């Protein structure tokens, strides 16, 4: 089932999501629905708060077009180490059509649970590391525009306001 994507400036995007206490059927179904919603958008990552679910859940797929799909589901993800710094362009399904250069750690070590309830720790770099940092931010109510200079952030906010009035956002 495709879910409705919550868009900025909706306040629910600012809430801190709760950890998943039990990996039950409801959570597994929510992860499946999130994946369907992400592919349908299309996007490379989606966090539960973006579809109005206040749980620490992320789905992502950074495979290139033409490559086999590589869906990753993260439950209660946590970034435990950050290395280096790298600038890269980011967009967000909750701010459709808006993009900006964002500074992120180049490499991270993260901990999460997979859909079988298995906890693991892994290193990630490049695009995967960027997407995980972007999506984990969503779980804490943080958006990529928060990482920009106030000048750039205000520019995007103004443009969105205008687009809402024009009905193309």
Question: CA of 24: how far to CAs of 4, 44, 52, 54, 76, in Å?
Answer: 22, 25, 18, 16, 14
Q: Which is nearer to Zn ion, 20 or 92 (CB)?
A: 92
In terms of Cα–Cα distance, which of 61, 102, 60 is closest to 85? Answer: 102
Stretch that binds Zn ion, among 5-13, 19-27, 65-73, 92-100 (CB under 5 A): 92-100
Tell me the closest approach of the beta carbon of residue 137 to Zn ion, in angstroms: 8
Residue 92 as a binder of Zn ion (CB under 5 A): the answer is yes
Residue 145 as a binder of Zn ion (CB under 5 A): the answer is no
Residues 8-47 interacting with Zn ion (rule: CB under 5 A): none
Q: Which is nearer to Zn ion, 113 or 132 (CB)?
A: 132
Q: Which is nearer to Zn ion, 76 or 138 (CB)?
A: 138
Residue 57 as a binder of Zn ion (CB under 5 A): the answer is no
Active-site positions read 135
Query: How far is 104 from 134, CA to CA, in rounded Å?
Result: 9
Sign of the alpha-carbon dihedral angle for 83, 14, 45, 89? negative
DSSP letter for each residue of 36-55: HHHHHTT-SEEEGGGGT--B
Query: How far is 45 from 168, CA to CA, in rounded Å?
Result: 23
DSSP 10: -
Stretch that binds Zn ion, among 5-13, 34-42, 91-99, 124-132 (CB under 5 A): 91-99
Q: Which residues bind Zn ion (CB under 5 A)?
A: 92
């Amino acid at each position: 089932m495709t879910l409705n994507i919550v868009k900025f400036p909706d306040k629910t995007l600012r809430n801190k999501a709760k950890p998943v206490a039990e990996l039950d059927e409801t959570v597994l179904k929510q992860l499946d629905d999130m994946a369907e919603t992400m592919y349908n958008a299309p996007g490379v990552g989606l966090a539960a708060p973006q579809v109005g679910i206040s749980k620490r859940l992320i789905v992502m797929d950074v495979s290139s077009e033409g490559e086999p799909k590589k869906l990753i589901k993260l439950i209660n993800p946590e970034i435990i180490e950050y290395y280096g710094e790298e600038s890269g362009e980011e967009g967000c399904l909750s701010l459709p059509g808006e993009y900006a250069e964002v500074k992120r750690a180049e490499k991270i070590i993260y901990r999460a649970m997979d859909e079988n309830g298995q906890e693991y720790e892994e290193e990630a770099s490049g695009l995967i590391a960027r997407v995980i940092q972007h999506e984990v931010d969503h779980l804490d109510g943080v958006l990529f525009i928060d990482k920009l200079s106030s000048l750039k952030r205000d520019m995007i906010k103004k443009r969105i306001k205008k687009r809402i009035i024009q009905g193309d956002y």
